[in-house]
Structure formats: C-alpha cells, structure tokens
A and B are shown apart, each in its own frame.
Chain A
Amino acid sequence: MAAWVDAILVFAVLTNLAVLGSSRLGLCIRMVAAQGIMIGLLPVVGHWHAVDARAVGLATASVLLKGFLVPWLLHWALVEANVRREVEPYIGYPMSVLIGVASLCLCLWLSARMPLPVAAGEAGTGASALAAPVAFFSILCGLLMIVSRRKALTQVLGYLVMENGIFTFGVALALEEPFLVEFGVLLDVVGAVFVMGVAVFHISREIHSIDTDQLSMLREERR
C-alpha cells in the first residue's frame, strides 16, 4: 500500500500548489475538499494490514467533515455573502506557487534533519519518506494562505490546509495514540470553521465586504 500512501501525499502537494496558484474561490474550496477526502483516507490506507474500528471511524469522520460538511458550509457562505469570487492575494499567483515550491524544498531539507519517532521510509511501519515533509509543507501552505490572502474565506481555507498537515503528520507517522489528538484537532477546526463561517456571513452583512483589510476599520483609532 506504500505506493498508494505516496500517491495520496503527492496529491496533497499538488492540491496545495493548485490552491496557491488558483484565482477562483470556488475552485479553491473544491480543491481543499478533495484534499480533505484523500487525506482523510490515510488512516485506512496507511494501516491497511491492521485496520481497526478506530481508524475507520476517524477516516469516516474526517472525510465527512473536511470533504463534505465544511466545504458545503464555505460554499454556502460564498453564495450567501455574495462576494466577488476572486481570491485577491497580496502576492501574485505565480509568485505564490514559486514560494510554495521553495517551501517544499525547505520542508524536505528540514525533515531530513529532524529526529522523527519512526524512521522515515522504514519498511513495515507504513510510514512514507514523504509523510513528514508533506505534512510540514501543508502547514506552511496554510500559513502562506492565511498571511497572503485578503479574504476571510481564504483564511479559513488556509486553516483547513494547516489542519490537513497536522492530520497527515499524526496519521502517517503512526505516533502513539494519534487518533485521540486527531479527534481533538478535528473538533477544534470544525468549531472554528463554524464560528468563522457565521462571522464571515454577519460581517459581510454589516460592512458589505469580507475583505480583512476592511476589518481594520473596527480597531480603536490611534490618537
């Protein structure tokens, strides 16, 4: 199954790059949803020989949440808030992709030097050599999206991508009792996304924009 795990990880890398390079909000949401589904399958695919109920439960939960529920919510916010469906980045799309590729290099280099609990690529553990770098890469991509995009919706997406990274790290490296942590993070994210989705909706109703730059008008004026 190692090849399939690798395939999922490569897919995660590609969707990350696609989200960085795409200008359409709808496409970004679909990409993150697809990534969520694929990453959600990791607990089953990665531990094929010892699938237990917990793994299946985690997979189902995360696929449902990240692949369907959250994207549906975001899509609803997109439609309801009636915003322009452009991503509106601070950094241009080609440059974002270049930064993404550069950070992928950085992640590969870093994780080659990092003392990991399971030796990467070791036979029999189900841990892929790519797992750690891809996990870090997803986290960095999420950060980059949060930092470099104007809209609140894209920041939610960035948050989701980051969560996918953490999830990958936990599942693919088969840490001690990973699923417990996972469920916790998953719950956090879902809660956060709900709050943000609702907030985005209300903000857009109040100030007719979900541009985070506009939020700065809410701060206290400096004297």
Chain B
Amino acid sequence: MHQILAGVALVVVGGVFALVADRWSGRAAGVSAALGLVLGGAFGAAEAIQVLLGVTPTPAAIRPEWAFPLEAASAAMGVDALSAFFLLPVFIVPALAAISGVVVMEEFAGHKAVGVFWFFFCLLAASLAVVMVARNGVLFLVAWEVMSVAAWFLITFHHESDRARDAGVIHLIAAHIGVAFLLGFFLLLAPGAGGLDFDTIAAARRATATATATASDQPTGGAMVVAPGVLFILALVGFGTKAGLAPGHVWLPEAHSAAPAFASAVLSGAMIKAGVYGLARALALIGCWEFWWGPTLVVVGIATAAYGALLALAQRDLKRVVAYSTVENAGIMVAGFGVGALGMSSGSAPLALLGFGGGMLHALNHAAFKPLLFLVTGSVHHAAGTYGMDRLGGLMKRMPWTGLGAVIGAVAACGLPPLNGFVSEFLIGLAAFRAEAAQPVEVAAPLVVVVGGLALVAGLVGAAFTRSVGVAFLGHPRAPEAERAREAGWPVTAPLVLLAGCCLFLGMAPVAVLPLLSRAAAVVAGMDGQIAGDVLRVAAGPLFEMQPAVLGFVGLVILFGWWRARLLARREVRTAVTWDCGYAAPAATMQYTSTSFTQQIVDLFGVVVRWRRRMTRPAGLFPTSAAVETLAPDPVTNELFAPAFRGAARLFRRLHGLHSGHVQVYVLYIAFTMLLVVAWKMG
C-alpha cells in the first residue's frame, strides 16, 4: 500500500516540477513529468503485481483520519486484487505515453501552456490510481471528480479549435451526468450503515442479506430500503458513461480525437478502465445478483460493441476510428461481465469466473493495444500533420516502426491470433459457448447473443482495421505530407515497441496471466482467491491447449517464411510496377479511399449509420471540377442528445424571466428562500 502511495506521490511531484520547469524550457517540463510518471509507475506497478501474485499476504489497507466536515467521509484506502489488476494499466500506460509525449509536446513549447498540460497529465494519472485504491465513497467521488477535470484540461489543450472546446464541454456534461448517478448509487447503497467506507457498506449489505435469507417473508429492516435493481441501474449508467457504453459514449470519440494522441492513449488505456473498474467494484459491493442483470449487461455490451464497430467503420479520421474502437472494446468487456453475472445468478462458479476474468483480461489487453494504436496515430500526426486517412498512404516505407506497431495493434484489436485481443475474446466466447451448450434455456439464450454478436463485431472490426492499416500505411502516398513523413526518433518509437511487446507476450503466453486474473475475478464474484484460482484453472483449461496451438501457428509462419526464402534464394526476384490490369498510368488518387472501402458494408446498416454526403456534381459538357465528401456523424448525438438538450435549453429559457438583473430582485429571492426554509424547519 505504501509503495503505491509513494508512486502516486512521485507522479504528483513530477507534475508539480513540470509546472515549475516550464519557466525554463518546455522540454524540461516534459522530462520531469515523464520521469515522475516512469518512476512512480514502476514503484506502484511493482506492488500491484505483488498483490496480484499473492506475495503480500493480506490486502494492506490504511484508514487515515480525515478532517472533513462530513461524518461519512474518510480517507480509507486499500489494495485488493481487483484494485491491483486495474492499477497495472493506470501505472504503466501514462508512463509510456509520457515518453513519447515529450517529443510531441516540444513543438508547442513557448507558445502554449505546456507545463500546465503536463501537470494535469500527472494529476490524471495520480487521481486514477486513487480511484482504484479508494475504500470510501466520498474519497472515491472526489478522486473521480479530479480525474474528470484533469482529463478536461488534456482534451482542451488545443483550445483554439472549436472542436476541442466542444469536446471539452461534452466531456464535462457527460462526466457530471455520470457523477449524478454515482452520487445516487453511493447514497442509496447502504443508508444507515454508519459511513461510506466500502468495508462498512459490504458488512451492512451482508448482514441485511443474511437477515433477508433467514426471514424471507418479513420486509427487510430499515437498512436496505432500495431494491438492488435500482442500485444496479444507477451503477450501470454512472460507470457506463465513463466506460463508453452506448448511448453514454458520445463524449468519448469527441474527447479522444481532440486531445493530443498520447493523452488519448491515457484516456482510452487507463481512464476508460476506471469506468470498467467502477462497474466491477459496484457489482461486488451490491453483493447480490438478480437474474436480469446478466442479460442486460450482455445486451448493452454487445449492442455497444456492434455500434462502436460500425461507427469506426464509417470514420475517415484515423484517430476517430481508434476512438470508436474503444467504444467497441468497452462493450466486449461489459459483455464479459454480463456472462459472469449470468454465472453468478445461475450459481455456476466456472461460468462466473470465466466471464469476469475474460472481461477484465480484455480490459488489460485493451490497455496494451489501444495506447499502442493511439501512439501510432500520434506518431503519424507528428510526421504528416494530419489524421485524415485519405491524405495518408505509403507510410509503411517511410515509418517502418510506426507501421509495424500499427499492424500489431490492428491484429490485436481485431481479436486475431497470435495477439492478445484474441485471448480475452476466446475466454468470453468459451464461457458463452459452454454455457450455451449445457445450461437451461434462460441462461443459454442471452449467451447466444454473445456468440453471434462477437462474430459480427469481429467481422466489422476486421474491416475497419484492415482499412485503416491499408489506406494509411500501405499503397501510394495520397498527399505530399504523407510523402514527406519520417520517424520522429526513439522516444516515439520505443513506447510503441514496448507496447507491441506487451501485446505479443499477452497473446502468446496467456497462461502466465491466468493466476493474476483469478484473484481479481474472485473479488467480483465474492469468492475466496485460492478456491477461485483452482476453479478458474479448470474452467480455463482449454487455454493451456490453445497456447501451444497458437505457438504452432507462429511456428508455421516462420517455417513457411523460411521455405519461401529458400525457394527464392537462387532465383530471379525482380521489382516492377503494380500490375493493375495493364493500366499504364496509375495515380495515387485512384486507390480505394477509406470511405469507398467500407461503403458497401456501411450501407447495409443504413438504419444505424447515416452517411451525410456533400456533393458537387460535374456540370456542363466539359466539367472542370466535381467533389464528393461523406461524413458519418454519430446518430446518437444527432438524434437523441441534441434534441434532448435543445428541449432542455428551451425549458430553461423560460426561467430566464426570473433573471432580471436588478439587485433588489435578487435580494428578494434570497429573503424569500430564507423565509421558506425557516418556515419549513419550524413547521
């Protein structure tokens, strides 16, 4: 525990130093922040791994007294396996992102508040860690709020652009709507428990649960007045908004595409996980499982995943593709939790552990490949100055390391072997298939949705990422800026290589991660870590046979590669122009563009995604120019939230009459309110 807190402190110190060092040079600010993040991250991650491995015998917890004018508040903190599991991305991702950020931020040094940016970058990382270790509702919410505000500063770094400012506003609105639900969740969780410490809450809920079990015909005592279902909905909406579940995802693509790419890596790799962690923690705290929760989580998760994949397919901006893919992955994680919840409510421990474990492993995997992809887009933007896929192309030759990172990240994001995205989707799919084959209909039916949904999502994501890699990195450069692009140097490529290594390791040696997983999943399922480990090892047994099969696949790749090299060794290998069916003057603009690649499949789902086309038709006998532009705005924003907020604005405009501008009237309001309060208190 203390080591983690020391890590957090180091991170904060790094941020404060950055604030100061910015007076001398922007680079110094970046370096001191990165140093703080790397050192603090190493400290913290080391202890998190120890807790996960069970080296630290009992989850250490501290409860410092807190002079806070609120009875329920305390600074209780602790690390159990669930916290430790989610602490891993929180400590590692910002450190790696910061290294590449140092180079990226240099161009803004001098004319932008780089020091302030780095301070909030560190503050975001630190507050995320506090969110994970908080063991008190008030502390949790305070850290949560700091996290949201710090993220706002990262999102609005390019505040001179309208889009970044809008993104910031949308982020703040979404964050606070989410917090409203969370506030309700924590207040209703255990009224009368005598505090908001998680331990107290858990004890109170256990007590009422046993009381209900022994005397089922009597209404429960005053402690547990709210139905668990209400708590579940509050937690799902509150945490789901942060995690990016549709329709609460609308802030996510905007925010992720507005922030600098390496900051988006942290937003997506670590901050989204706070929502997922929160959901897992909330499920554990509620402590009972109603049947409909599982199907709800499954349907919400799969719908989100399919929606995110479709929207990713329709985007033309490299970074927005990656951002929508975050929505898709959040959906898969929650679908995994849904499988787990079904296991809990049907009393099947293997199903529950596989579901929760698969969901959390997907969170970890996502924390490896998504920052990788964001850093790739950052590297591309640094080199070519644009995220627009249709102005890129041919980058693989010019930026080999970034290109390699892009291919590895894309294969991982598509959930294909031998990379890590496949492993977690395999676990979730395995759980779904097993239960679908053997369990009663009411459990099996929702899992059918998982099986079919995951396959559809895999297909759509496959199209989205082959397109992104193919259009941005392969073929001819489509614009001069892509022609000029070069690698930016080791601080940008080294984190890419490290993250790609993580993806490879997690994909080819998933068995090594299983022990870490079982303890974390056990917390959600409310089981003993040791027993859960044994159950999960049996349940995830196919993993032990899948791993050699995947390694065999890699071996075959090497074997065939070697065979072809031998075949071609003594023969003529020539280079020529692309065949192109004999056409002699192919131009870069004739290549398939990002929208033409996906038009066919997006059109199929025209009910969900609406293209918006702007077309200048060729006119006259000798047309000189013609243009077509397609955009795919988020239908949820346009057709759900925009009208809703317009309606709200109309409503509030009616209150405008109260706002007269005369001081006298305001004094009257105050006096009137006081009078009312006094009357209410006396009456």
Cross-interface CB contact of B606 among A92, A105, A109, A112, cutoff 8 Å: A92
**Interface contact A94-B445, CB-CB below 8 Å:** no
| Residues from chain A with Cβ under 8 Å of B567 in the complex | none
Query: What separation, in Å, do the CA atoms of A95 and B603 have in the docked complex?
Result: 11
| Residues from chain B with Cβ under 8 Å of A91 in the complex | 607
Query: What separation, in Å, do the CA atoms of A105 and B605 have in the docked complex?
Result: 21
A91 nearest in chain B by CB position: B607
Distance (whole angstroms) from the CB of A108 to the closest CB of chain B: 8
Q: Does B604 sit at the interface, judged by CB under 8 A?
A: yes
Distance (whole angstroms) from the CB of B449 to the closest CB of chain A: 9
Cross-interface CB contact of B604 among A94, A105, A109, A112, cutoff 8 Å: A94
Chain B 588-605, CB-CB to A under 8 Å as 1, else 0, gives 000000000000000011
* Number of A residues with CB within 8 Å of any CB on chain B: 7
| Residues from chain B with Cβ under 8 Å of A109 in the complex | 445
Query: What separation, in Å, do the CA atoms of A105 and B604 have in the docked complex?
Result: 22
Query: What separation, in Å, do the CA atoms of A109 and B448 have in the docked complex?
Result: 14
Query: What separation, in Å, do the CA atoms of A94 and B604 have in the docked complex?
Result: 7
B608 nearest in chain A by CB position: A95
Cross-interface CB contact of A92 among B441, B445, B604, cutoff 8 Å: B604
A112 nearest in chain B by CB position: B441
Distance (whole angstroms) from the CB of B306 to the closest CB of chain A: 11
| Residues from chain B with Cβ under 8 Å of A94 in the complex | 604
| Residues from chain A with Cβ under 8 Å of B441 in the complex | 112
Contacting residues of chain B (504-540) with chain A, CB-CB under 8 angstroms? none
Chain B 421-442, CB-CB to A under 8 Å as 1, else 0, gives 0000000000000000000010
A93 nearest in chain B by CB position: B604
Contacting residues of chain B (432-469) with chain A, CB-CB under 8 angstroms? 441, 445
Distance (whole angstroms) from the CB of B289 to the closest CB of chain A: 21
| Residues from chain A with Cβ under 8 Å of B605 in the complex | 95
Chain B 283-296, CB-CB to A under 8 Å as 1, else 0, gives 00000000000000
| Residues from chain A with Cβ under 8 Å of B445 in the complex | 105, 109
Distance (whole angstroms) from the CB of A90 to the closest CB of chain B: 10
Query: What separation, in Å, do the CA atoms of A91 and B605 have in the docked complex?
Result: 10
Distance (whole angstroms) from the CB of B599 to the closest CB of chain A: 15
Query: What separation, in Å, do the CA atoms of A95 and B605 have in the docked complex?
Result: 8
| Residues from chain B with Cβ under 8 Å of A95 in the complex | 605-607
Chain B 558-570, CB-CB to A under 8 Å as 1, else 0, gives 0000000000000
Distance (whole angstroms) from the CB of A183 to the closest CB of chain B: 37
Distance (whole angstroms) from the CB of A133 to the closest CB of chain B: 13
| Residues from chain B with Cβ under 8 Å of A112 in the complex | 441
Query: What separation, in Å, do the CA atoms of A81 and B43 have in the docked complex?
Result: 81
Distance (whole angstroms) from the CB of B459 to the closest CB of chain A: 14
B603 nearest in chain A by CB position: A92
Query: What separation, in Å, do the CA atoms of A215 and B295 have in the docked complex?
Result: 44
Distance (whole angstroms) from the CB of A72 to the closest CB of chain B: 36
Distance (whole angstroms) from the CB of B445 to the closest CB of chain A: 7
Chain A 97-130, CB-CB to B under 8 Å as 1, else 0, gives 0000000010001001000000000000000000
Query: What separation, in Å, do the CA atoms of A25 and B200 have in the docked complex?
Result: 67
A101 nearest in chain B by CB position: B452
Distance (whole angstroms) from the CB of B436 to the closest CB of chain A: 14
| Residues from chain A with Cβ under 8 Å of B606 in the complex | 92, 95
Distance (whole angstroms) from the CB of B443 to the closest CB of chain A: 13
Query: What separation, in Å, do the CA atoms of A105 and B444 have in the docked complex?
Result: 13
A105 nearest in chain B by CB position: B445
Distance (whole angstroms) from the CB of B462 to the closest CB of chain A: 19
Chain B 140-180, CB-CB to A under 8 Å as 1, else 0, gives 00000000000000000000000000000000000000000
Query: What separation, in Å, do the CA atoms of A12 and B604 have in the docked complex?
Result: 26
Contacting residues of chain A (39-97) with chain B, CB-CB under 8 angstroms? 91-92, 94-95
Query: What separation, in Å, do the CA atoms of A105 and B441 have in the docked complex?
Result: 12
Query: What separation, in Å, do the CA atoms of A172 and B605 have in the docked complex?
Result: 37
Query: What separation, in Å, do the CA atoms of A89 and B445 have in the docked complex?
Result: 30
Contacting residues of chain B (574-617) with chain A, CB-CB under 8 angstroms? 604-607
Distance (whole angstroms) from the CB of A96 to the closest CB of chain B: 10
Distance (whole angstroms) from the CB of A195 to the closest CB of chain B: 34
Query: What separation, in Å, do the CA atoms of A95 and B441 have in the docked complex?
Result: 26
Query: What separation, in Å, do the CA atoms of A95 and B604 have in the docked complex?
Result: 8
Distance (whole angstroms) from the CB of A197 to the closest CB of chain B: 32
Distance (whole angstroms) from the CB of B324 to the closest CB of chain A: 21
Distance (whole angstroms) from the CB of A110 to the closest CB of chain B: 13
Query: What separation, in Å, do the CA atoms of A112 and B605 have in the docked complex?
Result: 31
Distance (whole angstroms) from the CB of A113 to the closest CB of chain B: 11
Query: What separation, in Å, do the CA atoms of A112 and B445 have in the docked complex?
Result: 13
| Residues from chain A with Cβ under 8 Å of B607 in the complex | 91-92, 95
Query: What separation, in Å, do the CA atoms of A109 and B444 have in the docked complex?
Result: 12
Query: What separation, in Å, do the CA atoms of A112 and B441 have in the docked complex?
Result: 11
Query: What separation, in Å, do the CA atoms of A109 and B606 have in the docked complex?
Result: 28
Query: What separation, in Å, do the CA atoms of A105 and B607 have in the docked complex?
Result: 21
A94 nearest in chain B by CB position: B604
Distance (whole angstroms) from the CB of B262 to the closest CB of chain A: 40
A95 nearest in chain B by CB position: B607
Distance (whole angstroms) from the CB of B580 to the closest CB of chain A: 33
B607 nearest in chain A by CB position: A95
Query: What separation, in Å, do the CA atoms of A103 and B606 have in the docked complex?
Result: 20
Query: What separation, in Å, do the CA atoms of A98 and B606 have in the docked complex?
Result: 13
A99 nearest in chain B by CB position: B607
Query: What separation, in Å, do the CA atoms of A94 and B607 have in the docked complex?
Result: 11
Distance (whole angstroms) from the CB of A159 to the closest CB of chain B: 25
Query: What separation, in Å, do the CA atoms of A16 and B586 have in the docked complex?
Result: 48
| Residues from chain B with Cβ under 8 Å of A92 in the complex | 604, 606-607
Query: What separation, in Å, do the CA atoms of A200 and B43 have in the docked complex?
Result: 79
Query: What separation, in Å, do the CA atoms of A105 and B295 have in the docked complex?
Result: 14
Distance (whole angstroms) from the CB of A17 to the closest CB of chain B: 16
| Residues from chain A with Cβ under 8 Å of B604 in the complex | 92, 94
Query: What separation, in Å, do the CA atoms of A95 and B609 have in the docked complex?
Result: 13
Query: What separation, in Å, do the CA atoms of A215 and B605 have in the docked complex?
Result: 29
| Residues from chain B with Cβ under 8 Å of A105 in the complex | 445
Query: What separation, in Å, do the CA atoms of A206 and B606 have in the docked complex?
Result: 35
Distance (whole angstroms) from the CB of B598 to the closest CB of chain A: 16
B449 nearest in chain A by CB position: A105
Chain B 53-90, CB-CB to A under 8 Å as 1, else 0, gives 00000000000000000000000000000000000000
B605 nearest in chain A by CB position: A95
Query: What separation, in Å, do the CA atoms of A94 and B605 have in the docked complex?
Result: 9
Distance (whole angstroms) from the CB of A103 to the closest CB of chain B: 15
Query: What separation, in Å, do the CA atoms of A94 and B445 have in the docked complex?
Result: 22
Distance (whole angstroms) from the CB of B441 to the closest CB of chain A: 8
Query: What separation, in Å, do the CA atoms of A151 and B225 have in the docked complex?
Result: 55
Query: What separation, in Å, do the CA atoms of A95 and B445 have in the docked complex?
Result: 21
B604 nearest in chain A by CB position: A94
Distance (whole angstroms) from the CB of B20 to the closest CB of chain A: 59
Query: What separation, in Å, do the CA atoms of A109 and B604 have in the docked complex?
Result: 28
Query: What separation, in Å, do the CA atoms of A94 and B600 have in the docked complex?
Result: 13
Q: What are 11 inter-chain pairs, A to B, with CB distance below 8 A?
A: A91-B607, A92-B604, A92-B606, A92-B607, A94-B604, A95-B605, A95-B606, A95-B607, A105-B445, A109-B445, A112-B441
Nearest 8 CB-CB pairs, A to B? A95-B607, A94-B604, A92-B606, A91-B607, A92-B607, A92-B604, A109-B445, A105-B445
Apart from A91-B607, A92-B607, A109-B445: 8 A-B pairs, beta carbons within 8 A: A92-B604, A92-B606, A94-B604, A95-B605, A95-B606, A95-B607, A105-B445, A112-B441
